[in-house]
């Protein structure tokens, strides 16, 4: 069976069992506890936990997955992959073990037609119910049912969340694939006993302390790797010999010579798939989080390619094959083909440069070690973390030169970094602040700021420093929690509102609004008058002028996003933003700097939509419906079951929780003020709108007018006038340079008459009139041209400092002259310092008046050396 047949027959099989077929979700999960989608159940986690109700009690999918927990095993075994397709069937409180077990066996033996005699079953060692079903209903002999403990037969998607005991269907590939050990059996980590299908009985939830508690309902989560099923059905040696890899393998062969390393081949084939799929879902190479995973995968592939002698870019051509082969099943590959190819090529080229730099640094580090000495873990980690140099390559190169690595220390540093990154990432994803522990028991704030600028609210809590207090007095700073508010708390890139809380006797100036916990709004500021107390009612008033400026800028980010995708390509995705009253910055994914023409076109498109005055409306709908209508989500953001959609005219539809204007005409004016790179494949545009943009343009127009007045030209003629002046200036500089060179040459020719000859070496120590220190070097060159072999010590003063320079030709060096030593000695006289080599050295000091003494001392040193040989 071809892999496409296996995929389709599986999905149809479960459709016949009343399952709803759903598409694969993104590799970027809607779950702050997970970095990547590593299992079919990830998109259904809220259903398993009972936090949301599935619209379908039974679902089947073919889910694209990325796992890097076993990345070091990829290529070394017949089955390990980082990217794979997981076939799965799911039940949310509907059917349970009996149906799941019977259907799995039915599909494997009757549809895939795998010989039952080659199948084994594993169960959780305490699961008597599963054991009975396998024996009594399916008919599997007890001798072919293996009980395994928690490490093998208890499954979880992550450190916390839904989990449960599991039962696996194992395929015996035969003795020739075994490890040869006497105790080789089901559960052995060799390639003989292949885990084909895992049936997870999802009935428990693990909290952050590791405690287990029953889920509201008993669920089923199963997963069968398509690649493994293809391996079995196609009787392949490994997953890499199946039809899923054949086209990629054929293309890779075109880059290889007669010999190649099989492990490296496999790594390249696997990693090229993983990279293309990650990029198609919006992951960009970076130094943290998902981007770091992608960067590591690409760099491992490049490293192994270089190991096999592939010097040219190869990942792009492999990605082209992948898009062609899998683009129908996963249309996001075709939709983002151009972006995938460009980004992979850019990252591949970037790493090629990194490899050169890393090799140079490694060679320098190794040169400082004694034979037999271990390369320190800190050095290995610095190469890995700072320069992106692969650990495997460091180990290989060091080994060839007879050095071992302090691997234990390296792995310790690596684990510390991973834990630090994971902790920071989790904190950032959860969005919790220092105030969160104090306020976690309080109810959510009723936010009315989409339609109101002023409301009455009740003070629920007050914070002073790190404590809850009953009151804040005049002059004191703190935080105020209200039951309802019109103040928007900083989130989604939009800054928090400012304004005031007041009564007849109170004025609390709000300097910022934050959300220490989701839907909990804290007003931060100072009491300007009176005392604010818990339980009292206050008038909450937003700074309306500031809010409207922010709203104009926020709506403009949506127009900019639309224009960027239109001009640069559909691959462009928002990667972050900061929306304030003074303007906004918009970060986006793109592999090169846009041209001036492209930026101008983007600016014109946005302003056209402003002039056309399109309506701007927002509404709340289900996440599923939002996806159906094509609303663009911000990658990395976490969305609940219901989301807020912002529509601008009929051309922009995105998920957004910020505050906005009612029509694009309110933006008034849109102006891009800068565009720059902020990292690999990430760029940033800064822009302004409305009166702020107008003021920015007006101030620059004023500068242009002043320039035109100085140049005595019309404003429209100013560019040509400036070009003419620059040309004239360049010509004058060239003439001046020529005059200066002639003058220096003349000074050198005059000095030739003062040159002495000592032991056939020309010797001169002289002070010259110079404009800059580099003039001394030019004079030295002229002296060597005029007199040949010699030792020339030159001095000069400029800018209130004394400078010395010495040149010793090869013959002078042979006779014992060392420019570095002479300069080191005479620099002390001018109270300065310097350095260089035996044939060239220079110094600077603050004692200008001591230059003659320094030159005289240098001349004596040179003569004595030549005289005494």
Sign of the C-alpha dihedral, residues 57, 63, 68, 71?
positive
**Joined tokens for residue 495:** 């800054």
Chain-wide mean pLDDT for the chain?
Answer: 91
**Joined tokens for residue 809:** 């030709």
Distance between CA atoms of residues 123 and 138, nearest Å: 14
Highest mean pLDDT among 8-22, 384-398, 666-680: 8-22
- Render pLDDT for 721-733 as a digit per residue (tens, 0 to 9): 999 999 999 999 9
109 within 8 A of 117, measured Cβ to Cβ: no
Question: Which pLDDT score is estimated for 848?
Answer: 93
639: pLDDT confidence band, cut at 50, 70 and 90? Answer: low
- Render pLDDT for 657-716 as a digit per residue (tens, 0 to 9): 999 999 999 999 999 999 999 876 789 999 999 999 999 999 999 999 999 999 999 988
792 within 8 A of 742, measured Cβ to Cβ: no
Element holding 559 (H helix, E strand): helix 544-568
Distance between CA atoms of residues 791 and 130, nearest Å: 94
- In the chain, the percentage of residues whose pLDDT exceeds 70 is 97
Question: Which pLDDT score is estimated for 432?
Answer: 45
DSSP annotation string for 732-777? HHHHHHHHHHHHHHHHHHHHGGG-EEETTEEEEEEEE--SSTHHHH
List C-alpha distances in Å: 391 to 526, 619, 726: 53, 50, 52
**Joined tokens for residue 49:** 């936990």
- Render pLDDT for 783-836 as a digit per residue (tens, 0 to 9): 988 888 899 999 999 989 999 999 999 999 999 999 999 999 999 999 988 888
258: pLDDT confidence band, cut at 50, 70 and 90? Answer: low
481: pLDDT confidence band, cut at 50, 70 and 90? Answer: very high
**Joined tokens for residue 466:** 């790190």
pLDDT at 869 over 70: no
**Joined tokens for residue 258:** 């007669």
Distance between CA atoms of residues 314 and 351, nearest Å: 13
Question: Which pLDDT score is estimated for 431?
Answer: 45
Distance between CA atoms of residues 462 and 439, nearest Å: 10
Q: What number of other Cβ atoms are within 10 A of residue 360's Cβ?
A: 11
Residue with tokens 């010509």: 731
Looking at 437-562, which runs of residues are DSSP E strands?
A: 446-447, 454-464, 467-469, 471-472, 477-482, 484-485, 499-502, 507-517, 520-529, 532-533, 537-542
End-to-end CA distance of the chain: 89
Region of 211 (left: φ > 0; alpha: ψ -120 to 50; beta: rest) is beta
Mean pLDDT of 560-566: 96
Tell me the pairing of strands 20-21 and 119-124: unpaired
Q: What are phi and psi of 341, to 5 degrees?
A: -65, -45
Residue 666 DSSP SS3: helix
pTM, rounded to two decimals: 0.66
Q: What are phi and psi of 60, to 5 degrees?
A: -130, 145
Structural domains in the chain, CATH included, are 3-243 (3.30.930.10), 289-430 (no CATH), 436-542 (2.40.30.130), 547-698 (3.30.980.10), 751-868 (3.10.310.40)
521 within 8 A of 487, measured Cβ to Cβ: yes
Residue 431 DSSP SS3: coil
Q: What are phi and psi of 784, to 5 degrees?
A: -65, -35
- In the chain, the percentage of residues whose pLDDT exceeds 90 is 69
Q: What number of other Cβ atoms are within 10 A of residue 838's Cβ?
A: 15
H runs (alpha helix) in 259-336: 262-280, 289-307, 315-326, 331-335
Distance between CA atoms of residues 833 and 844, nearest Å: 6
Q: What are phi and psi of 833, to 5 degrees?
A: -155, 165
Q: What are phi and psi of 441, to 5 degrees?
A: -90, -5
Tell me the pairing of strands 484-485 and 574-579: unpaired
815 within 8 A of 869, measured Cβ to Cβ: yes
């Amino acid at each position: 069976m071809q892999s496409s047949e296996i995929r389709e027959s599986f999905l149809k099989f479960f459709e016949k069992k009343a399952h709803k077929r759903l598409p694969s979700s993104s590799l970027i999960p809607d779950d702050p506890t997970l970095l990547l989608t590593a299992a079919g159940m990830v998109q259904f986690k809220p259903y398993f936990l009972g936090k949301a109700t599935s619209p379908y009690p039974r679902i089947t999918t073919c889910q694209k997955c990325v796992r890097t927990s076993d990345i070091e095993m990829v290529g070394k075994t017949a089955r390990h992959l980082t990217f794979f397709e997981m076939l799965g069937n799911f039940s949310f409180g509907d059917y349970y073990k009996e149906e799941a077990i019977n259907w799995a066996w039915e599909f494997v033996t009757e549809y895939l037609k795998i010989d039952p005699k080659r199948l084994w079953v594993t169960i959780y060692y305490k699961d008597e119910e599963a054991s009975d079903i396998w024996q009594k209903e399916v008919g599997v002999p007890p001798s072919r049912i293996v009980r395994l403990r928690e490490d093998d037969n208890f499954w979880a998607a992550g450190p916390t969340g839904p989990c449960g005991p599991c039962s696996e269907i194992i395929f015996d590939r035969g003795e020739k694939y075994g490890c040869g050990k006497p105790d080789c059996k089901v559960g052995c980590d060799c390639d003989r006993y292949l885990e084909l299908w895992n049936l997870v009985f999802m009935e428990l939830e693990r909290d952050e302390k590791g405690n287990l508690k029953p889920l509201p309902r008993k669920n089923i989560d199963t997963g069968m790797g398509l690649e493994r099923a293809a391996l079995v059905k196609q009787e392949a040696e490994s997953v890499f010999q199946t039809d899923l890899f054949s086209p990629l393998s054929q293309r890779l062969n075109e880059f290889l010579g007669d010999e190649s390393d099989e492990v490296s081949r496999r790594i390249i084939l696997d990693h090229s798939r993983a990279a293309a799929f990650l990029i198609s879902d919006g992951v960009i190479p970076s130094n943290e989080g998902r981007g770091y995973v992608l960067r590591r995968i690409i760099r491992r592939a490049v490293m192994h390619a270089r190991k096999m002698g592939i010097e040219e870019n190869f990942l792009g051509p492999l990605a082209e094959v992948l898009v062609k082969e899998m683009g129908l099943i996963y249309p996001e590959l075709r939709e983002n083909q151009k972006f995938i190819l460009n980004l992979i090529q850019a990252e591949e080229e970037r790493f090629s440069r990194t490899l050169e730099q890393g090799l140079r640094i490694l060679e320098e580090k190794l040169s400082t070690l004694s034979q037999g000495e271990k390369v320190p873990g800190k050095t290995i980690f610095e190469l890995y973390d700072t320069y992106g140099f692969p650990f495997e390559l460091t180990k290989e190169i060091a080994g060839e030169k007879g050095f071992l690595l302090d691997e234990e220390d390296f792995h310790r540093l690596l684990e510390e970094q991973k834990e630090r990154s994971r902790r920071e990432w989790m904190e950032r994803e959860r969005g919790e602040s220092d105030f969160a522990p104090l306020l976690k028991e309080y109810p959510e704030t009723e936010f009315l700021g989409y339609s109101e600028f002023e409301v009455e609210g009740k003070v629920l809590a007050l914070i002073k420093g790190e404590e809850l207090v009953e009151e804040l007095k005049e002059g004191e700073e703190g935080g105020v929690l209200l039951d309802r508010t019109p103040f928007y708390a900083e989130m989604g890139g939009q800054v928090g509102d400012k304004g005031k809380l007041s009564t007849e006797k109170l004025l609390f100036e709000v300097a910022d609004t934050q959300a220490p916990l989701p839907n909990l709004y804290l007003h931060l500021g100072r009491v300007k008058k009176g005392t604010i107390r818990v339980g009292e009612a206050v008038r909450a008033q937003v700074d309306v002028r500031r809010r409207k400026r922010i709203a104009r800028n926020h709506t403009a980010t949506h127009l900019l996003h639309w224009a960027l995708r239109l001009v640069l390509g559909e691959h462009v995705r928002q990667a972050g933003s900061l929306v304030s009253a003074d303007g906004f910055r918009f970060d986006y994914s793109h592999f090169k700097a846009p041209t001036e023409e492209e930026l101008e076109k983007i600016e014109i498109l946005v302003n056209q939509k402003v002039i056309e005055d399109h309506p701007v409306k927002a509404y709340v709908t289900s996440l599923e419906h939002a996806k159906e209508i094509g609303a663009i989500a911000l990658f990395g953001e976490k969305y609940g079951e219901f989301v807020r959609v912002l529509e601008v005219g009929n051309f922009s539809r995105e998920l957004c929780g910020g505050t906005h204007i009612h029509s694009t005409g309110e933006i008034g004016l849109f102006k891009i003020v800068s565009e720059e790179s902020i990292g690999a494949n990430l760029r940033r545009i800064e822009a302004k709108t409305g009166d702020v943009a107008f003021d920015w343009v007006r101030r620059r127009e004023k500068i242009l007018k002043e320039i035109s007045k100085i140049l005595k030209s019309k404003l429209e003629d100013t560019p040509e006038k400036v070009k003419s002046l620059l040309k004239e200036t360049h010509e004058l500089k060239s003439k001046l340079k020529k005059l200066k060179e002639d003058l220096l040459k003349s000074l050198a020719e005059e000095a030739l008459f003062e040159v002495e000859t000592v032991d056939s070496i020309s010797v001169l120590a002289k002070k010259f009139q110079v404009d800059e220190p580099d003039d001394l070097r030019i004079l030295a060159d002229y002296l060597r041209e005029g007199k040949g072999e010699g030792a020339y010590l030159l001095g000069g003063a400029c800018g209130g400092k004394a400078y010395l320079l010495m040149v010793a030709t090869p013959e002078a060096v042979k006779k014992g002259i060392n420019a570095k030593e002479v300069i080191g000695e005479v620099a002390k006289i001018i109270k300065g310092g310097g350095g260089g080599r035996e044939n060239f050295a220079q110094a600077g000091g603050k004692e200008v008046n001591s230059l003659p003494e320094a030159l005289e001392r240098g001349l004596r040193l040179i003569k004595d050396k030549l005289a005494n040989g």
